[in-house]
Amino acid sequence: MPEESEGQIVEPGKVSQWLTENGFEHEFLAPDHLGVEIIKVDRSVLMPIATALYAYGFNCLQCQCAYDAGPGEDLVSMYHLIKIDDDVASPEEIRVKVFVPRDDPKVPSVYWVWKSADFQERESYDMYGIVYEGHPNLKRILMPEDWVGWPLRKDYISPEFYELQDAY
């Protein structure tokens, strides 16, 4: 279904149309400023859509990251996929966004589709507390294992002091 963007109707992109034709539920979001297609998917259908996108030719997870949409709002896990083929100068790209409630931040891990998700999902877990179910080694990667909280959430309250451990 076309989305309205400031009075203009934005037609779904090529990949979104392909997903719709093949029965994959998703929501088309307006393309970004570079024209990259963006789709929103429910976490319950992330794995079937990820597998379909891989079969479609998106063989590279260029970036996986997360962000906080604001205090009380959802957390977002975002995947930037590219299709690496003979046309390396201008590969086809798509962004997939999964919105999850902050009180139940669980998303299936795409590690089993794109191995490059390994450390990127761990960083999103460490900074935002999004649990990537099925990840083979989901543990903190930047913060100490005993750190309390998720430092990049907008509702995070930082500790009043930082204890220097193993500094000497």
The CATH number covering residue 19 comes to 3.30.460.80
Residue 55: per-residue pLDDT:
95
- Indicate whether 146 belongs to any domain: no
Q: Is the pLDDT of residue 18 over 80?
A: yes
- Indicate whether 102 belongs to any domain: yes
pLDDT tens per residue across span 129-141: 999 999 999 999 9
Q: DSSP H helical segments within 8-116, as ranges? A: 14-21, 46-56
Residue 3: per-residue pLDDT:
54
| pTM metric for this prediction | 0.87
Amino acid residing at 73? E
- Indicate whether 147 belongs to any domain: no
- Indicate whether 111 belongs to any domain: yes
Whole-number Å distance between alpha carbons of 65 and 97 = 10
Amino acid residing at 115? K
pLDDT tens per residue across span 92-144: 999 999 999 999 999 999 999 999 999 999 999 999 999 999 999 999 999 99
Q: Which range marks the domain in which residue 104 is found?
A: 3-133
Residue 50: per-residue pLDDT:
97
pLDDT band at 12 (very low <50, low <70, confident <90, very high): confident
CA nearest to 68, candidates 123, 130, 140, 110 = 130
- Indicate whether 156 belongs to any domain: no
Beta strand segments in the chain, E: 3-5, 8-10, 27-29, 37-40, 60-68, 75-83, 92-100, 106-108, 131-133
33-72 exposure pattern, b = at least 16 Cβ within 10 A, e = fewer: eeeebbbebebeebbebbebbbebebbbbbebebbbeeee
- Number of domains comprising the chain: 1
Q: Is the pLDDT of residue 161 over 60?
A: no
Vertex 114, ends 89 and 149: CA angle to 5°? 115
- Indicate whether 128 belongs to any domain: yes
- Indicate whether 139 belongs to any domain: no
- Indicate whether 160 belongs to any domain: no
pLDDT band at 164 (very low <50, low <70, confident <90, very high): low
pLDDT tens per residue across span 27-68: 999 899 999 999 999 999 999 999 999 999 999 999 999 999
